Amino acid sequence: MNNIMEITDLSKSYKDFSLKGINITLEKGYIMGFIGPNGSGKSTTIKLIMNLIKKDSGDIKIFGLDNESNNLSIKERIGFVYDENYFYEELTVKEMKEMVRPFYSRWDEKIFKRYAKDFELPLNKEIKHLSKGMKMKFSLAIALSHHAELLIMDEPTSGLDPLIRSELLDVLQSLLQDENKSIFFSTHITSDLDKIADFITLINNGEIILSKTKDELLEEHCIVKGSKKQLNIDNPLNFIGIKQNDFGFEALCRDKKAVIKQYGDSVIIEKPTLEDITVFYTRRSDHHVSSN
């Protein structure tokens, strides 16, 4: 069983939003970045994975097991970090850890102590007096102290300063040296993923727009920059999205060869960032085209 997580045709409807039969597969030993704008369905998907909300239809298999009927045994093997603090603010770091610890049969106090030391966690301080970064580090220390095989992270970097973000990413990267661990990392700060992600899944408006390896994604897309005149050619390329201003246009395209064939040297072709890809795929534009 190489797939650590398999989501099939997962749907969930609310009054004003719905997740429309999404499919995601995460292999063992990889980090998947789950990106998309605010309100695109990232948190809903994670809540469904964690059984915080009930699905309307579809399947979620984690470690090859159905996530509802094997809820407890799956959660024993999952570590989670959320976008905000849900810990009891009135408890101290140590009291909170003591509360969580007995529920994990594979809790490893040595690992916790090591992270507590590395992160300089103030064990006797009440959680409400911790900074946002410290709360996230505490959350991460809890998530990493019971030999979790899958880390689920819902926007863990939102609202954190660049230093703590980069510290977090370093920890995640070093974790992945253990090939049995996988990470599912949702964020709208795509630069977090430039460094660490193996796979990228882009969600928008409750639909998966694309899901592939980061390298493949960056390789097969390109940013084209040129003058406005060049856009008026009769047979415009199949741009994924176009931004225009007084000076010219900028577009994301999937077929680099076709761009070169059509425009030759008259346009600038650049490698896109994940942010470019997210923005061009998800901005509300008539030029939007799905890749699937």
Kindly list the residues in this chain that would bind other proteins in the complex (CB under 8 A): 47, 50-54, 71-73, 75-76, 78, 80, 82, 85-91, 95, 98-100, 102-104
User: The dihedral of CA 32, 37, 41, 46: what is its sign?
Assistant: positive
Nearer to other proteins, 59 or 76 (CB): 76
Q: Smallest distance, Å, CB 56 to other proteins?
A: 12
Minimum CB distance to other proteins, residue 65 (Å): 13
Nearer to other proteins, 51 or 273 (CB): 51
- Min dist CB 92 to other proteins, Å, is 9
Task: Write b or e for each residue in 70-87: b if 16 or more Cβ atoms lie within 10 A of its Cβ, otherwise e.
Answer: beeebbbbbbbbbbebeb
Question: In this structure, is the dihedral angle defined by the CA atoms of residues 260, 264, 266 and 270, taken in order, positive or negative?
Answer: positive
In whole angstroms, the minimum distance from the beta carbon of 99 to other proteins comes to 5
Q: What is the Cα–Cα distance from 273 to 197, expressed in whole angstroms?
A: 13
Beta carbons within 8 Å of 14's beta carbon, 6+ residues apart: none
CB-based contact 280:254 (threshold 8 Å): no
Give the span between the Cα atoms of 282 and 275, in whole angstroms: 10
Minimum separation from the CB atom of position 42 to other proteins (A): 16
Q: Is 106 or 228 the residue whose CB approaches other proteins more closely?
A: 106
Nearer to other proteins, 98 or 215 (CB): 98
Q: Which residues contact 130 (CB under 8 A, 6 or more apart)?
A: 93, 122, 138
> Whole-number minimum distance, CB 194 to other proteins, in Å?
28
Using the CB atoms, write b or e for 122-157: b if 16+ within 10 Å: beeeebeebeebbbbbbbbbbbbbbbbbbbbbbbbb
Q: Which is nearer to other proteins, 64 or 236 (CB)?
A: 64
Nearer to other proteins, 121 or 242 (CB): 121
**53 or 237: whose CB is closer to other proteins?**
53
Rounded Cα gap, residues 63 and 36, in angstroms: 25
- For residue 209, CA distances in Å to 22, 146, 196, 292 come to 10, 34, 21, 7
Kindly state the smallest distance separating residue 53's Cβ from other proteins, in Å: 4
| CB crowding 7-30: b at 16 or more within 10 Å, else e | beebebeeeeebbebbebbbebbb
